[in-house]
């Protein structure tokens, strides 16, 4: 089964897509221009979601693609975090950026790579996926993830 995971709010406890996107964009632009060390530290120090062992087990048993709204310039650090902190085995990482329409960009990738299921913590994104016929599940915790019903 080919499963897609969002990162922020799913693998990591933090999710910045629910706060003011303009402020997040301004902050990321400022720090990437003047303090790249801060961005590296931020990307490598995200706290793991509770019961992350369930995600690690799913990743060992299925093909995993990570599709996140993180900007592309954070892809290197995000990949390091996934490997060294989250210990998630994945096949491909897609960073679509926080610009307007990130949900649609996630969906476009999911359709192109033919995901069987996508996990995201944003209802708007889940609804978008479902309306396009791509199975998606609203993430509320790893205990609630039901892979079997989405085959």
Per this entry, what is the length of the chain?
151
Question: Which structural domain range is residue 22 located in?
Answer: 2-150
User: What is the arithmetic mean of pLDDT over 19-34?
Assistant: 57
Q: What is the pLDDT of residues 28-76, one digit of tens each?
A: 555 555 556 666 666 666 778 899 999 999 999 999 999 999 888 889 9
What is residue 6's DSSP assignment? -
| C-alpha span between 73 and 29 (Å, rounded) | 10
Scanning the chain, the segments in alpha helix (DSSP H) are 21-34, 36-44, 52-61, 75-81, 102-112, 123-131
- Residue 151: predicted pLDDT: 46
Query: What are the distances in angstroms from CA 12 to CA 22, 34, 131, 139?
Result: 21, 25, 26, 12
Cα–Cα nearest to 49, from 151, 146, 145: 145
User: Domain holding 127: CATH number?
Assistant: 3.40.50.1000
The pTM for the full model equals 0.83
Report the distance separating Cα 39 and Cα 37, nearest Å: 5
Confidence check: pLDDT of 150 > 70? no
Query: How many structural domains are present in the chain?
Result: 1
């Amino acid at each position: 089964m080919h499963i897609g995971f969002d990162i922020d709010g799913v693998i990591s406890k933090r999710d910045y897509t629910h706060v003011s996107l303009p402020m997040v964009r301004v902050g990321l632009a400022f720090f990437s221009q003047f303090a790249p060390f801060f961005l590296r530290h931020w990307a490598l120090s995200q706290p793991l979601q509770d019961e992350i062992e369930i995600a690690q087990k799913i990743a060992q048993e299925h093909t995993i693609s990570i599709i996140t709204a993180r900007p592309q310039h954070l892809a290197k650090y995000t990949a390091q975090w996934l490997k060294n902190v989250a210990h998630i085995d994945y096949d491909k990482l897609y960073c679509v950026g926080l610009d307007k329409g990130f949900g649609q960009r996630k969906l476009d990738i999911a359709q192109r790579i033919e995901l069987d299921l996508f996990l995201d913590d944003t209802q708007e994104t889940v609804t978008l996926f479902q309306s396009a016929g791509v199975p998606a599940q609203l993430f509320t915790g790893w205990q609630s993830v039901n892979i079997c019903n989405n085959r």
